[in-house]
């Protein structure tokens, strides 16, 4: 998983450094590595090949300077990064508002791409900015898509125009048309039209999308695409571009660990901007698109900004506050707390993924790989199979209780034993720590977490402290931005 | 169009494949989402191909990367319990309903369980399907504990002595370990009443290389026994499923090729491979 391009390039360049000079065959080798990394990231083959040609050309042109320069690796990496950002962010822009409201936004994309959820997120995003959006239920195809949009609308506090029940009943074109009239009369300044998922090859449904488009003349048609999509991104994006047409792209499910190479393919082949990213199941998990983050992600390079955000989310939990309070009161650390800690940690998403976001994670490769993610899952299942009494006071855990727990968790008794041992060690250390007033780093590791990652909620105050630091900026706008970010 | 059509066209009537042909084969394999690793492996085995029996040899090479495990639903002594899992939006609910319909039309008695209590209107979606295909759906309230719904369904299925219970679950990204643990819990709780005979992972044919990570982590969490590859009616070829078979030895058991209840079939490797090569 961590044989990312950065790791490879670091290897290539450290061997080069000892020779001092880069020649054109070195560049060829590097290009081969870049090629397989991009393919591994699902960038479309044609895009990969033209990208490699571009990099080769630029790198060769830079060669004279590279030979005299001290840091060739950095220079070539910069070339790659700059070109990626250029393609991803070249045409970045915001939504165009209509001169005469309502602004009409129409969503289109494959089945299961995440359109309905996105409709809710967009509605919330603009509602929070003072707009008055109306959601329009024009997916009358998928069973209960209308109900889903209604639930979503209710939870973000945005009304839903849904005159037809769906499940195959009603005409989506008419619904969109009527919505526009309704929105004008009720002075909504924006309508967001959710449509059924459709395949690029389905001409009948593509025609339906065209009919909806012609009926409401959207200011923006957004093509919604799953970040996990592979090489088909090319065919599908082209089919939608030639069919209904679109003005911008939204990437969804970016909270997963897909590298999202499709972003590069689509941006390159359509020349259209990626405008938003959708990154979670909550209706606030939504953001404008950052080309730099995407570039790092495609390169498997680490994304510090996202890491910081995710860590903050996970650590800002109620349970961490509770835990600190409890700790301060002098209550003992129980298995219950242990479980809560683990849960907070799992909320941070895949541990190895998070670690992989750190720049230079390549150097820690072995350590990261040795960290066994499923350990958390296993431990949790054991603790979850205990009764409240057992969690409070593991001393009651005799042989038959342990056997029952093992059975319930689908584990061996040895696994239960080893967890109890680990926990007792952790508890002991907690007690010592309270007496000495600090958290020994060894504790985190004794709980099966790699150094620097283990402290969990207990150290949340510490790890959040830098984020709360006073701004150094004298510029109020900049300071506000810092506080937000 | 078959992924090898261009390659095979070039190869026909030639005794050896020249270097250009390998490039074409590589392109076709990659474009089908087999991924750089499996593609390199296949290319390596294919280097010895001779024009005359190119088709047979290619089929054999591909075949050697498929899982040898059975593709039939495994037999259960009592009720066959099928857990349907996968990342968001791949087609779990639809596939659960289609599978129920397939089993029902083969004469089995089937029940569905609405184990997705999280996503808006997911329960209603399965209920609509149940009504459409005439299969009863066990459900709890939205926001109920999914393990509790699954448990109730297992008890009801055992009591009614039906042949199959198919449990739909909420979509979850494999890198969220709390949600993966929740799935493990569903499994354990059901197994208090009935053993789970199949865990089917639903993979969207448009998925790229991330599909391998999905399969790997779902398999670790709930011991996946087979794949359902959906949306094969689109332009995607679903090659990542072959990469999964090859890397993890998890067989594709069913395919979905449309939004209707009958757009679903057991996976036929021979047909699939010859489709790849001959179309
Ligand atoms: N064209 C086509 N569409 C499909 C197929 N299978 C499912 N779909 C569609 O894909 C969309 C998502 O399907 P669902 O069954 O709701 O997917 P899910 O995995 O249950 O989704 P979540 O529960 O939200 O994670 C729906 O619009 C389905 O009609 C298929 O084989 N072909
Ligand atoms: Mg579902």
Q: Set out the domains of chain A in order of their start, with CATH numbers.
A: 3-87 (1.20.120.140), 103-301 (3.40.50.300), 305-454 (1.10.260.30)
Calculate what percentage of chain B has a pLDDT beyond 70.
88
Residue ranges in A187-334 assigned as alpha helix (H): 203-216, 232-242, 262-270, 291-298, 304-315, 318-329
- List the one residue out of A232, A316, A37 whose CA is nearest residue B238: A232
Interface test with B, best of A231, A263, A342 (most B CBs within 10 A): A231
Q: The tokens of B47 are what?
A: 């280097």
Q: Which of A 293-322 lie inside 8 A of B, CB atoms?
A: none
Per the CB < 8 A criterion, the answer to whether B130 and B136 are in contact is yes
What is the distance between the alpha carbons of residues B46 and B257, in angstroms, rounded to a whole number?
30
pLDDT digits (tens, 9 = 90+) for B130-139: 999 999 999 9
**For chain B, domain boundaries:** 5-63, 80-267
Residues from chain A contacting residue B32 (CB–CB below 8 Å): 231
- The pTM assigned to this predicted structure is 0.77
What is the distance between the alpha carbons of residues B54 and B48, in angstroms, rounded to a whole number?
10
Give kind and range of the element (H or E) at residue A222: strand A220-226
Question: How many residues in total does chain B contain?
Answer: 279
What is the distance between the alpha carbons of residues A424 and A429, in angstroms, rounded to a whole number?
9
Q: The tokens of A38 are what?
A: 């991009």
* A122 interfacial to chain B (CB closer than 8 Å): no
Q: Which positions ≥6 away from A327 have C-beta within 8 Å?
A: A333, A430, A434, A458
Contact call for B220 and A144, based on CB within 8 A:
no
Q: What is the pLDDT of residue A20?
A: 60
Q: Count CA atoms within 13 Å of residue B10 on its CB side.
A: 15
* A82 interfacial to chain B (CB closer than 8 Å): no
Interface test with B, best of A232, A297, A310 (most B CBs within 10 A): A232
pLDDT tens digits in sequence order for chain A, 485 residues long: 334 555 666 665 565 555 566 677 878 888 888 888 889 889 999 999 999 999 999 988 887 776 654 466 667 777 888 899 999 987 668 899 999 999 999 999 999 999 999 999 999 999 999 999 999 999 999 999 999 999 999 999 999 999 999 998 999 999 999 999 999 999 999 999 999 999 999 999 999 999 999 999 999 999 999 999 999 999 999 999 999 999 999 999 998 888 899 999 999 999 999 999 998 888 988 989 989 888 888 876 654 455 555 555 555 555 556 666 666 676 777 777 777 766 666 555 555 555 555 544 444 444 444 455 566 777 888 888 888 888 888 888 999 999 999 888 888 898 899 888 878 877 776 676 666 544 433 333 333 333 333 333 222 222 223 333 333 343 434 444 444 43
Q: Which atom of ligand 1 is nearest to the CA of B125?
A: 16
pLDDT digits (tens, 9 = 90+) for B219-272: 999 999 999 999 999 989 899 999 999 999 999 999 999 999 999 999 999 887
Dihedrals phi, psi of A382, to nearest 5 degrees: -70, -50
Q: The tokens of B106 are what?
A: 């083969």
Closest residue, chain A, to B206 (C-alpha)? A229
Q: Is B259 in the pocket of ligand 1 (CB under 6 A)?
A: yes
Ligand number with the minimum distance to the CA of B265: 1
Contact call for B208 and A410, based on CB within 8 A:
no
Q: Tell me B207's DSSP state.
A: B
Dihedrals phi, psi of B237, to nearest 5 degrees: -100, -10
* A147 interfacial to chain B (CB closer than 8 Å): yes
Q: What is the pLDDT of residue A464?
A: 29
Neighbours of A387 (CB within 10 A): 11
Q: The tokens of B208 are what?
A: 């790229």
Q: Which of B 6-35 lie inside 8 A of A, CB atoms?
A: 27, 30-33, 35
Contact call for A228 and B31, based on CB within 8 A:
no
Q: Is B52 in the pocket of ligand 1 (CB under 6 A)?
A: no
pLDDT digits (tens, 9 = 90+) for B6-56: 666 666 655 455 555 778 888 888 999 999 999 999 888 887 766 566 667
Q: Count CA atoms within 13 Å of residue B57 on its CB side.
A: 17
- List the one residue out of A411, A339, A335 whose CA is nearest residue A380: A339
Sheet of B164-169, strands arranged across? B136-138, B110-115, B164-169, B80-85, B196-204, B226-230, B252-256, B264-266
3-state secondary structure of B66: coil
CA dist list (Å): A285 to A121, A255, A358, A404: 8, 9, 22, 40
Residues from chain B contacting residue A230 (CB–CB below 8 Å): 33, 206-209, 211, 236, 239-240
CA dist list (Å): A198 to A149, A205, A234, B115: 17, 6, 16, 26
CA dist list (Å): B16 to B25, B29, B38, B62, B201: 14, 19, 22, 19, 40
Q: How far apart are the first and last CA of chain A?
A: 29
Residue nearest to atom 5 of ligand 1 (CA): B231
Neighbours of A398 (CB within 10 A): 8
Q: Which positions ≥6 away from A387 have C-beta within 8 Å?
A: none
Q: Tell me B50's DSSP state.
A: B
Q: Tell me A130's DSSP state.
A: T
Q: What is the pLDDT of residue B39?
A: 92
Q: The tokens of B83 are what?
A: 């857990």
Residue nearest to atom 14 of ligand 1 (CA): B91
Sheet of A160-161, strands arranged across? A160-161, A133-138, A190-195, A103-109, A220-226, A248-252, A274-278, A286-288
Q: What is the pLDDT of residue A481?
A: 45
In chain B, count H helices and then E strands. 11, 8
Closest partner residue to B233 (CB to CB) among A113, A199, A281 is A199
Interval between CA B56 and ligand 1 midpoint (Å): 35
Give kind and range of the element (H or E) at residue A142: none
Region B80-267: CATH code: 3.40.50.300
Strands A286-288 vs A274-278: parallel, antiparallel or unpaired: antiparallel
Closest partner residue to B240 (CB to CB) among A230, A381, A409 is A230
- List the one residue out of A316, A294, A252 whose CA is nearest residue A120: A252
- The position carrying tokens 């089995």 is B108
3-state DSSP of B162-194: CCEEEEEECCCCCCCHHHHHHHHHHHHHHCCCC
Q: What is the pLDDT of residue A76?
A: 76
Q: The tokens of A217 are what?
A: 């003349």
Per the CB < 8 A criterion, the answer to whether A123 and A192 are in contact is yes
Q: Is A260 in the pocket of ligand 1 (CB under 6 A)?
A: no
Per the CB < 8 A criterion, the answer to whether A428 and A340 are in contact is no
- List the one residue out of A250, A37, A259, A234 whose CA is nearest residue B206: A234
CA dist list (Å): A302 to A4, A306, A453: 10, 9, 16
Q: Which of A 434-463 lie inside 8 A of B, CB atoms?
A: none
B5-63 with B80-267: one CATH topology? no
* A343 interfacial to chain B (CB closer than 8 Å): yes
Distance between A405 CA and the closest CA of chain B, angstroms = 12
- List the one residue out of B202, B215, B127, B129 whose CA is nearest residue B171: B202
Q: Which fold has domain B5-63?
A: 1.20.120
* B181 interfacial to chain A (CB closer than 8 Å): yes
Q: What is the pLDDT of residue A42?
A: 94
Closest partner residue to A381 (CB to CB) among B181, B191, B211 is B181
3-state secondary structure of A159: coil
* A241 interfacial to chain B (CB closer than 8 Å): no
Dihedrals phi, psi of B240, to nearest 5 degrees: -65, -25
Ligand number with the minimum distance to the CA of B230: 1
Q: What is the pLDDT of residue A21?
A: 65
What is the distance between the alpha carbons of residues A466 and A6, in angstroms, rounded to a whole number?
28
CA dist list (Å): B36 to A5, B32, B42: 14, 11, 10
Q: What is the pLDDT of residue B270?
A: 84
Distance between A436 CA and the closest CA of chain B, angstroms = 33
Q: The tokens of B232 are what?
A: 């094969």
Q: The tokens of A382 are what?
A: 């054991």
Q: Which atom of ligand 1 is nearest to the CA of A202?
A: 1
Q: How many contacts does A have with B, using Cβ atoms within 8 A?
A: 180
């Amino acid at each position: 998983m961590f044989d990312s391009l950065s790791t490879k390039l670091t290897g290539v360049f450290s061997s080069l450094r000892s020779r001092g000079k880069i020649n054109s065959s070195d560049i060829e080798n590097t290009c081969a590595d870049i090629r397989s990394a991009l393919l591994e990231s699902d960038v479309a083959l044609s895009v990969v090949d033209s990208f490699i040609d571009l990099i080769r050309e630029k790198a060769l042109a830079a060669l004279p300077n590279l030979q005299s320069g001290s840091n060739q690796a950095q220079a070539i990496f910069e070339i790659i990064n700059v070109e990626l950002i250029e393609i991803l962010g070249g045409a970045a822009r915001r939504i165009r508002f209509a001169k005469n409201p309502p602004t009409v936004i129409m969503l289109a994309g494959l089945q299961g791409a995440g359109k309905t959820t996105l409709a809710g997120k967009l509605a919330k995003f603009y509602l929070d900015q003072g707009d008055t959006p109306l959601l329009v239920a024009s997916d009358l195809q998928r069973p209960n898509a209308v109900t889903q949009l209604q639930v979503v609308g209710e939870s973000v506090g945005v009304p839903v125009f849904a005159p037809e029940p769906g499940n195959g009943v009603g005409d989506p074109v008419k619904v969109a048309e009527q919505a526009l009239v309704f929105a004008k009369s009720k002075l909504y300044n924006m309508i967001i039209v959710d449509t059924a998922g459709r395949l690029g090859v389905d001409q009948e449904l593509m025609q339906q999308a065209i009919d909806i488009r012609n009926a409401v003349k959207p200011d923006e048609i957004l093509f919604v695409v799953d970040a996990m999509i592979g090489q088909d991104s090319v065919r599908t994006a082209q089919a939608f571009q030639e069919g209904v047409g679109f003005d911008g792209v939204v990437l969804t499910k970016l909270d997963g660990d897909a590298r999202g190479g499709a972003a590069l393919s689509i941006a390159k082949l359509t020349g259209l901007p990626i405008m938003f990213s959708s990154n979670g199941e909550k209706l606030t998990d939504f953001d404008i698109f950052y080309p730099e983050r995407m570039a790092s992600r495609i390169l498997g390079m680490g994304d510090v900004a996202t890491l910081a955000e995710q860590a903050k989310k996970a650590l800002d939990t109620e349970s961490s506050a509770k835990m600190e309070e409890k700790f301060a009161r002098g209550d003992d650390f129980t298995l219950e707390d242990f479980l809560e800690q683990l849960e907070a940690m799992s909320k941070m998403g895949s541990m190895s993924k998070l670690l992989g976001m750190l720049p230079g994670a390549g150097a820690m490769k072995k350590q990261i790989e040795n960290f066994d993610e499923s350990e958390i899952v296993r431990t949790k299942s054991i603790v979850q199979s205990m009764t409240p009494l057992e969690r409070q006071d593991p001393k009651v855990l005799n042989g038959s209780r342990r056997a029952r727990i093992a059975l319930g968790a689908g584990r061996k008794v040895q696994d239960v034993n080893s967890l109890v041992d680990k926990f007792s060690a952790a508890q002991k250390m907690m007690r010592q720590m309270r007496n000495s007033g600090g958290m020994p780093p060894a504790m985190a590791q004794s709980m099966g977490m790699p150094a620097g990652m283990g402290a969990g909620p207990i150290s949340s105050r510490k790890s959040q402290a830098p984020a709360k630091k006073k701004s150094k900026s004298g510029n109020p706008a900049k300071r506000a931005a810092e506080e937000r970010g | 169009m078959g992924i090898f059509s261009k390659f095979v066209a070039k190869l026909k009537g030639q005794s050896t494949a020249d270097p250009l042909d390998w490039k074409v084969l590589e392109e076709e394999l990659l474009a089908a989402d087999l991924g750089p690793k499996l593609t390199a492996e296949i290319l390596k085995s294919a280097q010895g191909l001779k024009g005359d029996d190119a088709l047979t040899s290619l089929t054999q090479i591909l075949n050697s990367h498929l899982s040898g495990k059975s593709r039939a639903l495994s037999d259960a002594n009592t009720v066959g319990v099928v857990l349907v899992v996968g990342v968001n939006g791949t087609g779990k609910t639809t596939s659960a309903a289609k599978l129920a319909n397939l089993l029902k039309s083969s004469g089995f008695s089937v029940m569905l369980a609405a184990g997705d209590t999280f996503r808006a209107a997911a329960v209603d979606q399965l209920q609509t399907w149940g009504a459409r295909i005439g299969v009863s759906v066990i459900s709890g309230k939205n926001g109920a504990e999914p393990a509790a719904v699954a448990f109730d369904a297992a008890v009801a299925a055992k009591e009614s002595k039906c042949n199959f219970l198919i449990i739909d679950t909420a979509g979850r990204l494999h890198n969220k370990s709390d949600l993966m643990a929740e799935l493990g819990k569903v499994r354990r709780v059901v197994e208090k009443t009935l053993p789970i005979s199949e865990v089917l992972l639903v993979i969207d044919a448009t998925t790229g290389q991330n599909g391998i990570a999905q399969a790997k982590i779902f398999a670790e969490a709930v011991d996946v026994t087979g794949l359902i590859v959906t949306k094969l009616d689109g332009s995607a070829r679903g090659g990542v499923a072959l990469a999964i078979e090859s890397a993890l030895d998890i067989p594709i058991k069913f395919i979905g090729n449309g939004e209707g209840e009958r757009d679903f079939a057991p996976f036929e490797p021979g047909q699939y491979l010859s489709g790849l090569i001959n179309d």
